[in-house]
Amino acid sequence: MWFHLFCIAVGFFAGYLMIHWMPPLTPFDFTRFTTELIFNPLRTFLALTCFFIGFLANAVVIRTVIEGIVFCLRRKRVRWMEWFVCCGGMGSFYWLFQWEVRLTALFFIFSLIYGMISVNLDRSR
C-alpha cells in the first residue's frame, strides 16, 4: 500500500511540474508553442521527463484499480484497502484538470492506455 501511495504522490507531483513547465496552451498558437519548446530546451526536457515519470506512476495506480475490478468480478480475493487507496488516488487527476485540461487529458490517456496494457491477472506474483 505504501508503494501505491508513493506512486500517487509522484504521479501528481510530476503532473503538476509537467503542466507548470510546458508552454501555455490557452490561446493555442502553434508557432509560439514550438518556439518556446525549442528556445527553452531545459524546461522542455524537464517537462517531458516529468510527463514520462508521471504517466508511469499513474499507470501503476490505474493497473491496480483495473486488476481489483477484474478480481472482484471473478470472485477472487481483492486487497480492498490497497484498492480504495488507488481509487482515491485517481482523484489527483481532478486537481490536474483544474489547472490545465488539455495536458491533463493527454497525461490521463497515456496513463490509462499503459495501465491497461500492463495488467497482469496472474496471481502468482
Give the per-residue pLDDT at 123.
61
- Region at 6 (left for phi over 0; alpha for psi -120 to 50; beta for the rest): alpha
Q: Is the pLDDT of residue 52 over 60?
A: yes
- Dist. CA 115–CA 61, nearest whole Å: 8
Range 17-21 contact pairs with CB under 8 angstroms and sequence separation of 24 or more:
17/46, 17/47, 17/50, 18/47, 18/48, 18/50, 18/51, 18/54, 18/103, 18/107, 19/96, 19/99, 19/100, 19/103, 19/104, 21/46, 21/47, 21/50
Summarised one tens digit per residue, pLDDT across range 76-125 is 887 888 878 888 888 889 999 999 898 999 999 999 999 999 888 776 45
Q: What's the confidence (pLDDT) of residue 124?
A: 47
